[in-house]
Structures are given as structure tokens and as C-alpha cells.
């Protein structure tokens, strides 16, 4: 593989996508992002300092009403209330999905492939679908 091809692949996989209003996305300094989807359709996303977000992570505030059908389901979604807050020092593993309205506590770890649907306390490791606490982290 040529050097130029390697550079292209490196940057291609580090891209992010914002679906919704980018003004609803707040990312503090010293945060590492890989290719991440930020859906801000139904709330704000706030990310603290020294956060690591690994490859193929989706942070999704948007939702649709399961009681609707067809075009109504497609076009009906809340405009606020599904905020996501990721506190300082959090590590989110590859291919995780974070669904709003949740807060992930300081220094916690979300294991690869997990789906977060409720708040995560500080200083824990969560894993699974849905994510649950599997370990406490001593500071």
C-alpha cells in the first residue's frame, strides 16, 4: 500500500458525523474521537475533558414514537429532552451506542459493543446490552 493510501485510510476512519444541529454539540478540550456519529435531533450532547471515544460509536438523542406508523413515525420525534452528558475521563469502547437521556459518570468505562440506556455512575465499568455495572474502579 502506498503512503498516500495509508494517510487516506487513517483520516477516513477518524471522521465524525453530526446528524442534527451542530450547535447542540459541546466537546471540551483534550478529547479523543474516532469515527463517531452524534445525533442531536432531540437534545444536547456534552462531552467533558480527557474523554476517549473509540471507533464506530453512536451517541443518539433522536427517537421516534413507536406508537406511530408509516410517515407519521418517520416525521414525529421529540425536539428536546434526550440529552447525553459524558463526564471527564470517560472511555467509551468501540461500537457502543449511547441513547439519550443519560449521563455517564466521571472516569467510567463503557465496554466495547455496549448499549447505554440509563445513567452510569462514576468510576465503574459497564458492559452488555443493555449496559450494566460489572466492576467498580478504585481511584
State the catalytic residues: 64
b/e sequence 72-108, b meaning 16+ C-beta within 10 Å: eeeeeebeeebbbbbbbbbbbbeebbbbbbbbbbbbb
Amino acid at each position: 500500500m502506498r503512503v498516500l493510501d495509508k494517510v487516506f485510510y487513517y483520516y477516513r476512519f477518524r471522521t465524525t458525523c453530526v446528524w442534527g444541529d451542530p450547535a447542540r454539540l459541546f466537546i471540551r478540550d483534550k478529547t479523543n474521537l474516532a469515527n463517531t456519529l452524534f445525533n442531536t435531533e432531540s437534545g444536547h450532547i456534552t462531552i467533558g475533558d480527557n474523554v476517549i471515544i473509540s471507533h464506530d460509536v453512536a451517541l443518539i438523542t433522536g427517537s421516534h414514537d413507536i406508537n406511530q406508523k408509516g410517515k407519521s413515525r418517520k416525521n414525529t420525534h421529540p425536539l428536546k429532552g434526550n440529552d447525553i452528558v459524558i463526564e471527564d475521563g470517560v472511555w467509551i469502547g468501540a461500537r457502543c451506542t449511547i441513547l439519550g437521556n443519560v449521563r455517564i459518570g466521571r472516569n467510567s468505562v463503557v465496554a466495547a459493543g455496549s448499549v447505554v440506556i440509563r445513567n452510569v455512575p462514576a468510576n465503574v465499568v459497564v458492559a452488555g446490552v443493555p449496559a450494566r455495572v460489572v466492576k467498580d474502579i478504585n481511584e
